[in-house]
């Protein structure tokens, strides 16, 4: 049974197909009108405005080459230069120091001679001459100099221990179960023998310290070297007493 025509009306895709051309035309007209209104408003503002003020920037500068541009400005801000007056210092007095007694010392600003100035000083000619009535004999004794424990001795190669004599454990300290570390300071001569020894850092137990120092003289070292020659120097090593 068919429905009456009064109750039927096109809807959905049929209605959209019938009206989309009209809607597209109205959107285009509205958009074109809006753009034209903006352009007309800008033209009116540009023509009815007052005369523009012309700034006088002076004569123009013509740059013909890249060299005319000059260096670019620095980005970093340099601190302002502060003028500082140079102190007035008296000219140094050049001379060779002469040893004098303490009560004869004069407090003056004396500058030592430079290396070049000392090189210009000619040393005396030590030669044998038959005219002087006698020969000049240079007698410089090469003694086995032993430095003190607190004296600094420059050395290129320090002594190296090649034989270590282990000291026996003190009987009383062993029975009491006492352990410790003794730092021994020994004087090694040019032949590598220990000429003197003392306790640098004590273990806290006199028996351990005495045993370490007593057997320090039985150790053997490779002597220290300075300027290609053996030299006497103090060294420090540790002696561990462990049960």
DSSP 29-89: HHHHHHHHHHHHHHHHHHHHSPPPPPP---S-----SGGGG-PPPPSSPPPPP---PPP--
Instruction: Give the total number of structural domains in the chain.
Output: 2
Q: Is residue 35 part of a domain?
A: yes
- Three-state SS letters, 112-128: ECCHHHHHCCCCCCCCC
DSSP structural state of residue 214: H
Other beta carbons within 10 Å of 139: 4
pTM > 0.75: no
CATH number at residue 197: 3.30.2420.10
Q: What is the mean pLDDT of residues 187-200?
A: 92
Q: Is residue 134 part of a domain?
A: no
Tell me: pLDDT of 234 over 70.
Answer: yes
Other beta carbons within 10 Å of 1: 2
Query: What pLDDT, in 10s, does the model give residues 84-106?
Result: 776 676 665 555 666 766 655 55
Q: Which residue's entry shows tokens 């400005």?
A: 73
The domain in which residue 24 lies consists of 10-43
Residue 103 is predicted with a pLDDT of 53
Residue 116 is predicted with a pLDDT of 73
Q: Which residue's entry shows tokens 């958009």?
A: 31
Measured CA to CA, the distance from residue 33 to residue 188 in angstroms comes to 109
Q: Is residue 32 part of a domain?
A: yes
């Amino acid at each position: 049974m068919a429905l009456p025509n009064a109750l039927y009306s096109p809807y959905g895709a049929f209605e959209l197909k019938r009206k989309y051309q009209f809607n597209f035309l109205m959107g285009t007209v509205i958009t074109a009108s809006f753009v034209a209104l903006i352009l007309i408003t800008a033209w009116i503002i540009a023509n009815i405005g007052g005369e523009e003020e012309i700034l006088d920037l002076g004569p123009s500068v013509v740059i013909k080459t890249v060299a005319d541009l000059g260096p670019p400005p620095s980005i970093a801000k340099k601190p302002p230069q502060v003028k500082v007056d140079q102190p007035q210092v008296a000219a140094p007095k050049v001379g060779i120091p002469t040893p004098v007694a303490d009560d004869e010392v004069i407090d003056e600003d004396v500058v030592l001679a430079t290396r070049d100035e000392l090189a210009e000083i000619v040393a005396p000619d030590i030669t044998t001459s038959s005219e002087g009535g006698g020969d000049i004999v240079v007698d410089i004794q090469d003694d086995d100099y032993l430095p003190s424990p607190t004296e600094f001795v420059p050395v290129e190669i320090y002594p190296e221990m090649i034989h270590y004599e282990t000291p026996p454990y003190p009987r009383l300290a062993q029975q009491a179960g006492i352990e410790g570390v003794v730092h021994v300071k020994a004087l090694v001569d040019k032949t590598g023998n220990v000429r003197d020894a003392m306790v640098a850092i004590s273990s806290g137990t006199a028996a351990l310290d005495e045993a370490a120092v007593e057997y320090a003289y039985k150790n053997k070292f490779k002597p220290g070297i300075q300027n290609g020659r053996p030299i006497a120097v103090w060294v420090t090593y540790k002696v561990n007493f462990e049960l």
